[in-house]
Amino acid sequence: MKLIVYALVLLSVSARAELSGMWEWRNPLPQGNSILDLAFGNHTFVAVGVGGTILTSSDGLIWSGQELPTSPIVFKVTYGAGLFVAVSEKGILTSSNGAVWVIRDCNSGLRDVTYGGGQFVAVGLAGSVMTSADGVTWVSQGSASTMLLSGVAYGGGKYVAAGFSTMAAPGVILASANGIDWQIVNNPPFAVWDVTYGGGRFVVVGQQRTIVSADVVNWTIAPVGDYLGGINYAEGLFWIAAFGQVWVSADGLSWSARSLGSTLPSEQGLTLYAIVFGDGRHVVAGAGGWMAVSTNGTAWSSLSSMPPMDLQDVAYGQGKFVITGRDGRLAVGTRSGPLSIIQLSQDTGFEGITYGGGKFVAVGSGGTVAISSNGLDWNMRRTRLGTSLKDVCFGEGQFVIVGDRGTVLTTPGEPDSVPHVELTPTTEPLTSVAFNAGTYVAVGSSSILVSSNASDWVSYPNAYGHASIASGNGLFMASGGSALWASSNGVTWWQALGGYFDGKVAFAGERFWALSDGSGILMQSSAGWREFNPTTSELYGVAYGDGVFMAVGEEGIILQTRDIRPQMSITGLTGSAYELRIKDGEPRQYELQTTANLAGGSWISLNIFGHSGWGQETVLTNSSRASEGFYRLLGR
């Protein structure tokens, strides 16, 4: 069992309180789960989305996360009669202030809600409709359709709902004068999913088009653009959140695109789902929790704490984290404060990075190898092979790099050194490499390569579909074949954890990590594998340093744990009795030990106990041992 010494301290255990969250968002801010809808009411913005996300803000700039009784997908939210009402996987939620929420009805099939005509109206799966005068008591109503109704709005004394069966089939538009009696008023030849009212007309959004009516009888179709999201009416204009831009129209028929500029977190753009206006400010939001604000609807400012960049891997050394980006940039910084952005290349996409022997080495496309002794000043060269390089590890004084076409390179990591090309028995792409106890192991789609010196490689069948590999604590750990696999030599493997898994594995902070493709993070502990679900986005790398873990991933996501090291204090009581208080830190098992001779004495175990972690306190007392001597606390 791996023991981590946290401190020399003092001592039967009374623990109180429970586990609180381990992971916190560092980028984007305020968080990185996709936001599906926005609402404004009573001088408060509310954002809802994936993973039970509910955020509130008084100005659209500074947001606070709110707690839900569960963590469902929250699809839509509206404001009316002094109440916020949202529809989710767990039913209808209400709040008077956006901060404290109550589940009012367990209908999990609803997908949108609006307020008007003195009542709330919600619509959803199979043409379902529910109404409520107060947001608390809900009544099911019939409708004239069995399609998924995903949008509803009120205006001009009428309710209009929009929906579809499949994205390839015609949609449906329904209308009602009272929210109870509905009739189909149009079947547009394309799927439709959202609707708003303004300027005396309804505007329905669908595939690349809108359909507009002032009387819900006569409808006119107008072209817009690809990947349209939600629609809103504000300041005399209709606004549609779209892919990497917003569309604006005065009548719902003639549309012009407004770019969000360089604020997007990806060169390829970003899917935007919702837009809202309140107290003189527009807010747009979408995938990966990305948000931007504007006071005029033309110039937009991102709330992200970093410039746009997709992140691939992270390493820690010399007191700083270094993160690789696909666009030739690196992010460098400590556990707190802003990250410095370094543009190393305009045409290189960096992939893997590691730290060893006092140097950082990052690799990427075009055979690029970048070396730094401090993480800030880099020497970059491209190998003559020009193949894309995927991963790098350090072992026995050298860096070993793998990439496409069976490429293996070795380098001592000196700035002026030319990486040496090693011969391998394969031409398939190699995606990951690790070193453990004198053995290098690289994995490809059908082969596992094993070497004792990184020059002479033996190929073995990749029987379990390993896609990523890491090493630590005397073992290799690999992902693939719907499981995690362990090996002491890279040749013989056994299943370490079953269940579907095809993400990356890493070793950081004396433990293995499995980074899934959006379904969670697995961390190995003395009690087995522990799962966290801080994001629904894909993560690619994790590192440990200065008491915290940092994980990075798609669309610029950076997650960081609280400090895993507990804070301790000793208070003398009476006679030889002492009291030890342990606050915060990582929830885990700890062992308290003592010795009379720090120079060479043996350590005696006093207590093994559990600590609940962040925001909690464990109190240990001892009245049977003398006060003389030394004490230490170890993490198990």
pLDDT tens digits for 399-452? 999 999 999 999 998 877 788 999 899 999 999 999 999 999 999 989 999 999
Q: Are residues 235 and 368 in the same domain?
A: no
Q: What is the number of structural domains in the chain?
A: 3
3 state DSSP class of 125: helix
Mean pLDDT score of the chain, rounded to an integer?
A: 88
- Domain's final residue, options 468, 496, 511: 511
Q: Are residues 362 and 487 in the same domain?
A: yes
Confidence at residue 19, expressed as pLDDT on a 0 to 100 scale: 27
Residue at 32 is within a domain: no
Q: Are residues 84 and 204 in the same domain?
A: yes
This prediction has a pTM of 0.80
Can you tell me the mean pLDDT for 88-110? 93
Tell me how far apart the 2 most distant CA atoms of the chain are, in Å.
Answer: 91
Q: Own/partner pairs for 401-405, CB < 8 Å, 24+ apart?
A: 401/361, 401/363, 401/369, 401/433, 402/430, 402/431, 402/432, 402/433, 402/442, 403/363, 403/367, 403/429, 403/430, 404/429, 404/430, 405/429
Domain that holds residue 443: 311-511
Structure-model confidence comparison of residues 382 and 566, the more confident one: 382
Residue at 239 is within a domain: yes
Residue at 531 is within a domain: no
- Domain's final residue, options 195, 210, 243: 243
Q: How far is CA 186 from the centre of its chain?
A: 40
3 state DSSP class of 366: helix
Q: What distance in Å separates the CA atoms of residue 313 and residue 618, rounded to the nearest whole number?
A: 36
Q: Are residues 571 and 506 in the same domain?
A: no
Beta carbons of 506 and 541 less than 8 angstroms apart:
yes
Structure-model confidence comparison of residues 205 and 501, the more confident one: 205
Q: Are residues 83 and 219 in the same domain?
A: yes
Confidence at residue 12, expressed as pLDDT on a 0 to 100 scale: 28
Q: Are residues 337 and 421 in the same domain?
A: yes
Residue at 435 is within a domain: yes
Confidence at residue 13, expressed as pLDDT on a 0 to 100 scale: 29
Q: Are residues 10 and 149 in the same domain?
A: no
Distances (CA, A) of 172 to 142, 175, 189: 15, 10, 9
Residue at 553 is within a domain: no
- Domain's final residue, options 243, 261, 295: 243
Domain of residue 130, CATH code = 2.120.10.80
3 state DSSP class of 404: helix
Structure-model confidence comparison of residues 208 and 572, the more confident one: 208
Structure-model confidence comparison of residues 430 and 65, the more confident one: 430
Residue at 119 is within a domain: yes
* Proportion of the chain above pLDDT 70, given as a percent: 91
Domain of residue 584, CATH code = 2.60.40
Residue at 554 is within a domain: no
CA triple 599-603-609, angle to 5 deg: 140
